[in-house]
Amino acid sequence: MPILKLSATEKRRVSVFGTCLVLAVVAWLAVTFSRTYNFKVKQVLAYKNAPKKRAFHSLQSDTVDVIVRGTGWQMLSSKMNSMNPAIKVDLRALEYQDYLLLSDQVRAINKSKEYPQEIVSFYPDTLYFDFSHRRVKRVPVRLAMSLKYQQQYAQSDDIVIKPKYVTISGPSNVIDKITHWETDSLRATNLSESINTRIRLSPVKEGNIGIYPNSVQVKIPVNEFTEKTIEVPVTLVNNREYYRVNLLPKKVKVTFTTPIDKYAGMTEEYFEAEADLNMWKNYGYKVLPVKITQLPDYCRVVKIEPPNIDFIIKK
């Protein structure tokens, strides 16, 4: 296959031509993308200034088509990036009517400069709402958390949430189904210290639901744990025939984990150990298993010695 051979002068000309072509294309693109265009994007609506005396439910999707005005660069960016902020729509007009004209709010939205491009129009332009009785209710806060502790560390007391309850308001048919309200997820790893932080509640997913307050204070006590062993007397249960029963031994050694700051106060009075005589009467057991039926919160039984005890029945 013949190879085209160019002289040095011809090579320079081709190089100059190629450079000029590239510069011309770049200049054309720069001019083209610098011009202003109207283009369509899909955008989520967010509601503000909801009516205080009327509960509402939107009868259409909260995503609408928006005609915006911007440069070609902005148009290209909008096609590549769908993370534009939600457009905030004012609902004060719903105090006296059942619909909203988005075109009435275009000037105010553009003036607020919360949206990166100038908005020209919406489709659909009219939003319709269904109204129902508004209810107010208090529900408990539920903490969503994922905590991982350092070795020998763990939660050492009850979690404290202030306030324990929040007030929600909205349509009766929605509020009636809500039994609690979760927080945002609290996550921590390699935990060795107590947590005392303010955490936001999960955001409202519907514009017609109100919640107060929108954050709570959370305290999670964390402490180092260690093992302790004490002797606990064994109580016989289900001796309905009132047999005279001797337990051997009468006490067992219970090894358990406890927070270090509560180590000294852990005595046998906080524990209860039981042996069930039904295990002999109903199942023929020759020794009775020992169960710990009461122990302080956040303590965990490691072992019981002996785990089974002998017994002598005197009739």
Could you read off the pLDDT of 251-302 as tens digits, one per residue? 999 999 999 999 999 999 999 999 999 999 999 999 999 999 999 988 999 9
Helical packing angle, 72-80 and 8-34, nearest 10°: 80
Burial class of residue 185 in the structure, from the number of CB atoms within 10 Å of its CB (0-12 exposed, 13-18 middle, 19+ buried): exposed
Q: Flag whether 234 is in a domain.
A: yes
CATH of the domain at 139: 2.170.120.40
94 lies in the same domain as 172? no
d(CA 218, CA 201): 11
Q: Flag whether 109 is in a domain.
A: yes
- Read out DSSP for 61-102? -SEEEEEEEEEHHHHHHHHH---PPPEEEE-GGGGT-SEEEG
If one compares 86 and 158, the residue with the highest pLDDT of the two is: 158
Could you read off the pLDDT of 37-56 as tens digits, one per residue? 788 888 888 888 877 766 67
d(CA 203, CA 205): 6
Rg (CA), the chain: 36
125 lies in the same domain as 147? no
What pLDDT does residue 15 have? 74
64 lies in the same domain as 51? yes
Which of 90, 115, 132 terminates a domain? The answer is 132
Q: Flag whether 40 is in a domain.
A: yes
How would you classify the pairing of strands 186-191 and 145-149? Answer: parallel
188 lies in the same domain as 229? no
Which of 110, 132, 154 terminates a domain? The answer is 132
pTM value is 0.57
Q: Which domain holds residue 292?
A: 225-314
Q: Flag whether 262 is in a domain.
A: yes
Tell me how many domains the chain contains.
3
Q: Which residues contact residue 177 at a Cβ distance below 8 angstroms, ignoring those fewer than 6 apart?
A: none
Q: Looking at the predicted structure, is the pLDDT value of residue 161 above 90?
A: yes
Q: Looking at the predicted structure, is the pLDDT value of residue 29 above 70?
A: no
d(CA 120, CA 66): 8
Q: Flag whether 3 is in a domain.
A: no
Which of 183, 201, 220 terminates a domain? The answer is 220
d(CA 268, CA 275): 17
CATH of the domain at 64: 2.170.120
Q: Looking at the predicted structure, is the pLDDT value of residue 197 above 80?
A: yes
